[in-house]
Structure 1
C-alpha cells in the first residue's frame, strides 16, 4: 500500500510538470525542469517517508516530494527559460544553441564571427552578440565560459594564441555590454578540440569557432 502511494506521488509530479515546445520542430517535449522535479520528488519522497514514523508515513512522503520537486525543478526551469529566449533571439543567425543537462552551449562559427586569421569581431556580428548579451543580462545567475578554437592549419602555438584572442574579444564585448566580468572566463584551446574533420574546407570552417558555455550558479537559483 505504501509503495503504491509513493508511486502515485511521483507520477503526480511527473505528469503535472511543465511541457515545452521545441522552437524548430514545434513538437511538445518534457522540459528539463520537469525531469529535475521528478528526480527531486523521488528522492524527497523516499527521504521523507523514511524519516517519518509509521502513522505519518504518507504525510512525510508528500512533504518530501514537494520539497524535492521544488529544488530539482528550480535550476532546470531557470535554464529552460534562458534556452527558449536564446533560441528565439538567435534563430537564423548561424549560431547553434545546444543543451546538455543544465548547461547551455552557444556555438559561433568563425566564418560568421571573425575574418580569417583575425581576432576582431566582424561588424556584421555585433547585432547578434548584442542579442546574446541582452539575454545574459536578464539571466544573471549563470557563469559564462567563452572558449576559442581553431582548425589545424598553421603552427599549434599560433593557433593557441589566436583562439585565446578570439575568446577574449567576445568576452570583452560582453563586459562592454554590461555583463559582470566576474561571471566570464575566456580561454583558448587552439586546434585541440575539433568537432569536424580538418581534411576538408567545410570541416576546418566548423572547427574555427567560439563557444559560450552557460553554467547555472545553482546556489543562487535555489537560494
Structure 2
C-alpha cells in the first residue's frame, strides 16, 4: 500500500464517523462548530489507533492528521445546538432559551407589553317621537308644548358632567317628497339643539343633523308606524 493510500484510510474512516454523528436532517448536531475541540480529540484518537496498525510512526502521524481532520470536519458542520432555528454559524446568541422568538442572527427579539384595546365609546340614545304626543306642529319645525316639557325634564341628565357631546338627529315618516322631508328633519333637529342651548347646555357640545325618511324604525304604511318614525333622537356619548 502506498504512503498516500495509508494516510487516506484514517481520514476516510474518521470522516464517515464524524459526518454521521454531526449531520442530521434538521441541521442540529451533537458535534458541530462549537464542539470542534471534541472532534479534534476524537480524530486524534481514531487516527492514532488506525495508524498504530501499521507502526508507531504511523500512530503519531495518524493522531496528528486525525486531530486536524476531525477539527475541520466539525467546524464545517452547521448545527443548531440551542434549537432556535438559526444555524450555529450565524447564531450570535447561543444558548437561547427554548421557545424564545429570535431574529435572523439568533438573538431574542424585543418583547413589548400587550396593550389592551381601548373600549369603544358607549352611546346612549334618547328618542322623542309622536307616539304619545306630537313633538312638532304639522309641516313645521316649531316645538309643541309637549316636546318642550319632555326636553325640560331631561335637562338634569343632559347636564351631567359625564355627557360630553349631544348629537341631535331628526327623522320624518315617508309621506311627502324625499327632499322636503330631508330639509324638514334638519330644521327640526336644529330646533331641538337650539332649545337645549337656551336651557343652559353648552353650544360647544351640541350638534344636529337630519336624515329625513331614510331610516324608518316602523312600518310607514300604518299611522302608528309613521308616528314612531317621526322622531328626534338625542345621542349622548
TM-score by length of 2: 0.47
More helix by share: 1
TM-score (structure 1 length as normaliser): 0.50
Please identify which structure carries the higher strand content. Answer: 1
